[in-house]
Amino acid sequence: MTPGSRLHDPDARPELLDAERILAALSPGARRAIARLEIRAKIDSTNRYLMREAATGAPSGTLCLAECQTAGRGRLGRPWISPFGASLYLSMLWRYSTPPAALGGFSLVAGAVVADVLRRIGAEGLALKWPNDLLWGRRKLGGMLLEVAGEARGPSTLVVGVGINVRMAPDQGRAIDQPWVDLAEVLGGPRVGRNTLAALVADALIDAFERFGREGLTPFLALWAEFDAFRGESVRLLFADREIRGRVLGIASDGALRLDTADGEMRFHAGEVSLRREVEADVGGEGRR
């Protein structure tokens, strides 16, 4: 397969999402943890929907998937292109007793466990771009979006969205403003269905929610490091009104990006920051929902 090629059968029909098939593929523990599973044919954004539901009392363990999104979002309000049946659009709501400030590192957790899921089904050469992009061959395969609400001292509501390009035709991705790839190309063909993939991702997220609640970010840092795409590279950090250059030293214990700059080591949390390689074009599309 040559770089940039597309595995696409114009006559192939997408595998539609099916709640019973997803639930049957979950581990027993994950099945018990899901309080509610919703599948929508069309929705504005699965993350936005669950944030609305959370405000009206939706329980921890509410899971929402969609066949397509009309207003899918990435980080910094950027759009996430969401054609019908071509990708995985999944969001899960989880509740914690801790304050919102304690949950920011979960963006890294989600990226690490999703990358690990894809590696276990045969995807090789995956990489994570801090804080939440999933790459293959420096092309965008997926992303995560973390949204948190709650009281200053707790409790908190966490909604994590995951988007993975599964099997997209070239014309479906024409509006994406950066190089992209789908799982069919990464795996050399459509070797895993969307229902199976949804169950694997949900299972991994539930396990991560529970472990993060007990142990925090620390036990996930080694997994993140296995996929770290930028460690040792020269980069630019772009803010609204300035730019900082340096070499990536890795991730700190709290999830901050460690950067070796002309002024010494500096640390940055995600916020309104964009990370670019020194030679990378300034394109958007970070994050996911």
**Contact call for residues 230 and 130 (beta carbons, < 8 A):** yes
Q: Could you tell me the pTM of the whole model?
A: 0.88
Strands 36-43 and 62-69: parallel
Catalytic residue, chosen from 40, 211, 236, 276, is: 276
Residue 140 known to be catalytic: yes
- Spatial distance between the Cα atoms of 249 and 257, rounded to a whole number of angstroms: 8
How many CA atoms does the CB half-sphere of 99 hold within 13 Å?
4
Query: What is the set of domains in the chain, with CATH numbers?
Result: 19-226 (3.30.930.10), 231-277 (2.30.30.100)
pLDDT in tens, the chain (289 residues): 333 444 445 446 779 999 999 999 999 999 999 999 999 999 999 999 999 999 999 999 999 999 999 977 655 456 556 677 789 999 999 999 999 999 989 999 999 999 999 999 999 999 999 988 999 998 999 999 999 999 999 999 999 999 999 998 766 666 676 789 999 999 998 789 999 999 999 999 999 999 999 999 999 999 999 999 889 999 999 887 789 999 999 999 999 999 999 999 999 987 667 788 876 544 444 444 4
Catalytic residue, chosen from 48, 73, 140, 167, is: 140
Please choose, from the candidates 149, 159, 157, the residue with its C-alpha nearest in 3D space to the C-alpha of residue 96.
157
Catalytic residue, chosen from 75, 95, 167, 289, is: 75
Residue 40 known to be catalytic: no
Quick count: other Cβ atoms within 10 Å of Cβ 278?
A: 10
Residue with tokens 């991730």: 251
Angular region, 45: left φ>0, alpha ψ -120 to 50, beta rest: beta
Cα separation values, 167 from 41, 97, 134, 241, 259, Å: 17, 38, 16, 38, 36
